[in-house]
């Protein structure tokens, strides 16, 4: 079931088109990645999804409800961790959660339980009495996240939740996402310009650049869009120039790069077979210490499809 359906969404600010006919679906229970460089239109799309902005064209449904026609029903599904922190700095973490929880209509015993649970979930229990203004950036991010999940939304949207935070907080956030997704089947919409995060977390992805779709589909299908090239890394004993030249002659090898005891190959995945390579090494009495075959990563996909790097 598609818990989110984005259909032909367009948005202009003045005359500038910032979203150009964007469409995608998110499956219930998925971890879906929306990726693109600064200014691509990611937050604008989220703002339309959450009802903060109106689109100039197209529609979005959440849980089957149109966000324009039945905004309250649609919003019930959502928990949002916005790109900008939304916290009360002068009160404690606990009091913040009490405040946000009561906004969602939680009260009494239930509210207290939810506060304890989310503090635990985000690793902030020990800091609950501290004022937020004394928190590090990463701890604030985690508290922001805690506030977004108090009402146990079916969909959690995280807009660049790891920008400018320490590795420890980042790991907490990743673990948290995997846990709520697994244990509560929460659908995750993860927005980022860090390809490696999306690579690690997400199953399906949408890549956006300058308001336009660059690629959309499963991680695997998106990767296969750019190339059928795989990377093969070999560690070999008795490596010599002559051997490298003989490997270079294998048809399906596009590029070879060798130094010391290591060979890196770029190969045509459809035609590459290991046997001829192993035969050459065997004839040379070279011992293979390891072989690794890698798909291209998403950073390379983006570079290949847009001709530019995601980050400078």
Residues of the shown chain interacting with ligand ATP in the complex, contacts defined by CB under 6 A: 13, 18, 36, 38-44, 83, 193
CB-based closest residue to Mg ion: 43
Q: How far is the CB of 138 from ligand ATP (least distance, A)?
A: 18
Q: How far is the CB of 82 from ligand ATP (least distance, A)?
A: 11
Is 37 or 296 the residue whose CB approaches ligand ATP more closely? Answer: 37
Distance CA 50, CA 199 (A): 25
* Contact in structure between 155 and 117 (CB atoms under 8 Å): no
Q: With binding defined as CB under 5 A, does residue 43 bind Mg ion?
A: yes
Partner interacting with residue 38 (select from ligand ATP, Mg ion, none; CB below 5-8 Å by kind): ligand ATP
Q: Which two tokens stand for residue 205?
A: 């992805």
Is 103 or 163 the residue whose CB approaches Mg ion more closely? Answer: 163
Partner interacting with residue 142 (select from ligand ATP, Mg ion, none; CB below 5-8 Å by kind): none
**Binding residues with Mg ion: total (CB under 5 A):** 3
Partner interacting with residue 200 (select from Mg ion, ligand ATP, none; CB below 5-8 Å by kind): none
Q: How far is the CB of 39 from ligand ATP (least distance, A)?
A: 4
Partner interacting with residue 99 (select from Mg ion, ligand ATP, none; CB below 5-8 Å by kind): none
Is 38 or 168 the residue whose CB approaches Mg ion more closely? Answer: 38
Q: What are phi and psi of 289, to 5 degrees?
A: -90, -35
C-alpha pair distances (Å), 43 with each of 109, 164, 273: 35, 17, 44
Is 81 or 97 the residue whose CB approaches Mg ion more closely? Answer: 81
Q: What are phi and psi of 311, to 5 degrees?
A: -130, 150
Is 41 or 153 the residue whose CB approaches ligand ATP more closely? Answer: 41
Bridge-based pairing state of the strands 78-81 and 155-159: parallel
- For residue 292, the 8-state DSSP code is E
Distance CA 70, CA 154 (A): 17
Q: Segment near Mg ion (CB under 5 A), from 58-66, 75-83, 143-151, 233-241?
A: 75-83
Q: With binding defined as CB under 5 A, does residue 44 bind Mg ion?
A: no
Burial 108-133 (b: 16+ CB within 10 A, else e): eeebeebbeebbebbbbeebbeeebe
With a CB cutoff of 8 Å and minimum separation 6, the contacts of 17 are 10, 11, 211
Report helix, strand or coil for 104: coil
Q: How far is the CB of 41 from ligand ATP (least distance, A)?
A: 4
Distance CA 272, CA 251 (A): 8
Q: How far is the CB of 145 from ligand ATP (least distance, A)?
A: 17
Q: How far is the CB of 40 from Mg ion (least distance, A)?
A: 8
Say how many C-beta atoms besides its own lie within 10 A of residue 83's C-beta.
Answer: 17
Partner interacting with residue 39 (select from Mg ion, ligand ATP, none; CB below 5-8 Å by kind): ligand ATP
Summarize as ranges the residues that interact with Mg ion (CB under 5 A): 42-43, 83
């Amino acid at each position: 079931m598609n818990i989110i359906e984005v259909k032909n969404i367009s948005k202009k600010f003045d005359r500038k088109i910032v979203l150009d006919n964007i469409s995608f679906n998110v499956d219930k229970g998925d971890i879906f990645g929306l990726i693109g460089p600064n200014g691509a239109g990611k937050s604008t799309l989220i703002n339309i999804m959450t009802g903060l902005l109106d689109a100039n064209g197209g529609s979005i449904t959440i849980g089957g409800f149109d966000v324009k026609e039945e905004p309250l029903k649609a919003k019930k599904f959502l928990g949002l961790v916005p790109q900008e922190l939304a916290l009360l700095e002068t009160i404690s973490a606990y009091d913040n959660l009490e405040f946000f929880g009561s906004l969602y209509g939680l009260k009494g015993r239930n509210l207290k339980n939810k506060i304890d649970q989310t503090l635990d979930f985000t690793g902030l229990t020990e800091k609950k009495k501290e004022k937020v203004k004394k928190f590090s950036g990463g701890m604030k991010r985690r508290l922001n996240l805690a506030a977004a999940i108090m009402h146990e939304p079916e969909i959690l949207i995280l807009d660049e939740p790891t920008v400018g935070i320490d590795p420890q907080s980042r790991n907490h956030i990743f673990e948290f996402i995997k846990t709520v997704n697994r244990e509560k089947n929460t659908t995750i919409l993860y927005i980022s310009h860090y390809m490696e995060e999306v690579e690690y977390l997400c199953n399906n992805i949408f890549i956006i650049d300058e308001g336009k779709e660059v690629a959309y589909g499963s991680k695997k299908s998106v990767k296969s869009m750019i190339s059928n090239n795989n990377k093969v890394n070999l560690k070999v004993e008795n490596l010599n120039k002559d051997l490298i030249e003989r490997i270079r002659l294998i048809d399906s090898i596009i590029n070879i790069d060798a130094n010391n005891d290591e060979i890196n190959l770029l190969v045509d995945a459809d035609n590459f077979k290991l046997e001829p390579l192993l035969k050459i090494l065997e004839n040379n009495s070279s011992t293979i210490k390891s072989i690794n075959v890698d798909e291209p990563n998403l950073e390379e996909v983006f570079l290949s499809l847009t001709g530019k790097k995601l980050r400078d």
